[in-house]
Structure 1
């Protein structure tokens, strides 16, 4: 039997590599003769650069960037020919913030702009920015400031500071990226503002309470009025990705592309699945967002095209069987239910994921 194991990370507990290894170990404990092909994946968030480096080769360039709190962090981007892959979470990721410091009114994307600038200085003519896992909600203002937009200080001071702006000059930032193809790699289709926008949907995940969500949405609306008076970019699907970082890239002439499609193409998943008997994917939470183009959905669609069953192993499952089946998912299993509690699933994620994979393998028809 041949299976392809292609999970995303289990946020906060397992990297995609660790998840793939745990699933493979669990399956082989029941059926040691199974040929497992491990394909750790990322949809643009944490792991984006490492996954693409494994698939594409290229050069990892280490550099220092400004973190979400304004202090230096170590980061890397990938250079493949004249294309650079930047993982925004390495400069503004939620994982860089202790719980007590999670305040999207003050965190900045300034370091993302520094990474883009460093990639251009290394000769990149195309810069693909993976969006996901951010701890920011500044509409990309910090990123713009790092590339030359003014006034720099309020732009780099977090989403809350945007309310004090009376003008924004993007000329220098646009000149800095002139002739560069900028791509926002994301599978989030949220606009910048409103009930489905960056602040309302993702702000609470980054530490914002209800009052802060309202203030942040108003701040982004003010920022958009200054930078997008024609109101065309703010409603673009993906503008709200990574706390509005997608919007900032759109202001520089960037385009939004599917991070999942780019990664799946890079790793050659279509070819791998074509010769497989089953595909196993997974993530921390398999929910309604998962079915809006996130990684498990992309993997399931690939499997469905080849008539190969696809199983999701997730920390929690909040999708009805009918919805999952319509998306190409044969079955979905919850780590929390298998482990017996949320605490057990979180504290012993690798162990419980191995056990869950073993149970699925034991029941698999042969």
Structure 2
């Protein structure tokens, strides 16, 4: 039997590569004769560059950029020919925010883009997701040379009185460079379904502060490009998507970009079963997340798709709406404590049990 193993990261515990290895290890315990094809996946968030490097090869260059509160943080640029791939979470990740989220800046992401351009890239693909900033991408624009009558790289709080933004220097700096925003969400920048309302609380913005912070981003959008702020994906990564769009970037779902890079459709067609997974499998998985994307590819190839997850938070009807035949919970099998204490071992145990049902 041929099994394609294509999981996302299990956030906070396993990278996508580690998750694929653990699933393969457990599967082999029960079905050592099965042919396993490992294709770790990403949707633009943490792990994006690692997954693409594993699939495409290329050259990794280490750089140092400013973090959300100014401290230097390490990051990498992946060069494949004249295309560079960078990951916003490396410069502005939630794990890097160690102060007030209202003063956290995305400037480091702009510095990453500059590093890619300075290295000769003619196309720069920016993976969006997993960030702790919510500044509308103002910091990114500042790093590229944008100016304003307010401070652009001091977080959303500094945008409270913004009235005029000049993007000409930033656009000139990127002349001849194609930008691609690899986004796993399609929300606008502001409003009831915007970046602040949707993801602000998980970034530490208090509920009672949501309206005011959203108002600052409204002012920023009015001063730059109000129409673009309403586009799908403008609210990705706390508005870094918006900054890229106003600089002329095209938007591509991160899962689609990675799926193409790893030839997922062809590999699914050669398989009898597709196995995917992520930390929490819930209905939000439909919004550009890896399991939904992988299940779609499996469906096109007329192959069944199952999911292994840290937690399964949907019922069978919702599961099938997402294209998943069955989903299996790590926490349900081994308990929450062990799932976090020994995640690779626990995931291997779950895969071994699932193989009893699905392997021939």
What TM-score do the two structures reach when normalised by structure 2? Answer: 0.96
| Equivalent pair of 1:154/1:164 in contact (CA under 8 Å) | no
Deviation readout 1:53-103 (Å, 9 max, x if unpaired):
121121111111111121111111111111111111111111224xxx253
Q: 2:334 aligns with which of 331, 339, 356?
A: 339
Whole-Å separation in 2 of the counterparts to 1:158 and 1:253 = 23
Q: 2:289 aligns with which of 294, 297, 313?
A: 294
| Equivalent pair of 1:102/1:135 in contact (CA under 8 Å) | no
How far 1:153 moved relative to its partner? 7.1
How far 1:254 moved relative to its partner? 1.1
Distance 1:152 1:287, change over 3 A: farther
Of stretches 313-322 and 185-194 in structure 1, the one that deviates more from structure 2 is 313-322
How far 1:323 moved relative to its partner? 2.2
How far 1:15 moved relative to its partner? 0.6
Corresponding position of 1:303: 298
Deviation readout 1:222-269 (Å, 9 max, x if unpaired):
1111112xx311110100000010001111111211111110000011
Structure 1 runs, 4 residues or longer, greater than 3 Å off: none
Whole-Å separation in 1 of the counterparts to 2:351 and 2:143 = 45
Secondary structure, aligned partner of 1:192: coil
Counting matched residue pairs gives 360
How far 1:11 moved relative to its partner? 0.7
| Equivalent pair of 1:105/1:212 in contact (CA under 8 Å) | no
Deviation readout 1:314-352 (Å, 9 max, x if unpaired):
111222212221332111112121223x33322222222
Over aligned residues, Cα RMSD in angstroms? 1.4
Q: 1:279 aligns with which of 244, 257, 274?
A: 274
Whole-Å separation in 2 of the counterparts to 1:300 and 1:132 = 21
Query: Do structure 1's residue 84 and structure 2's residue 84 form an aligned pair?
Result: yes
Corresponding position of 2:167: 170
Alignment of 1:195-344 (within 5 A): 195-228=192-225, 231-340=226-335, 342-344=336-338
| Equivalent pair of 1:103/1:206 in contact (CA under 8 Å) | no
Whole-Å separation in 2 of the counterparts to 1:344 and 1:164 = 49
How far 1:30 moved relative to its partner? 1.2
| Equivalent pair of 2:149/2:165 in contact (CA under 8 Å) | no
Corresponding position of 2:154: 157
Secondary structure, aligned partner of 1:69: coil
Secondary structure, aligned partner of 2:230: coil
Query: Do structure 1's residue 119 and structure 2's residue 116 form an aligned pair?
Result: yes
Whole-Å separation in 1 of the counterparts to 2:267 and 2:138 = 40
Corresponding position of 1:363: 357
Distance 1:152 1:256, change over 3 A: farther
How far 1:212 moved relative to its partner? 2.6
Deviation readout 1:278-319 (Å, 9 max, x if unpaired):
111111111122112211111001111122111111111222
Secondary structure, aligned partner of 1:155: coil
Deviation readout 1:141-189 (Å, 9 max, x if unpaired):
0000000011497211012211132321111111111221111001201
Whole-Å separation in 2 of the counterparts to 1:84 and 1:103 = 31
| Equivalent pair of 2:149/2:163 in contact (CA under 8 Å) | no
What TM-score do the two structures reach when normalised by structure 1? Answer: 0.95
Unpaired segments ≥5 residues, structure 1: none
Q: 1:137 aligns with which of 134, 139, 158?
A: 134
| Equivalent pair of 1:131/1:185 in contact (CA under 8 Å) | yes
Whole-Å separation in 1 of the counterparts to 2:359 and 2:64 = 51
Whole-Å separation in 1 of the counterparts to 2:206 and 2:250 = 31
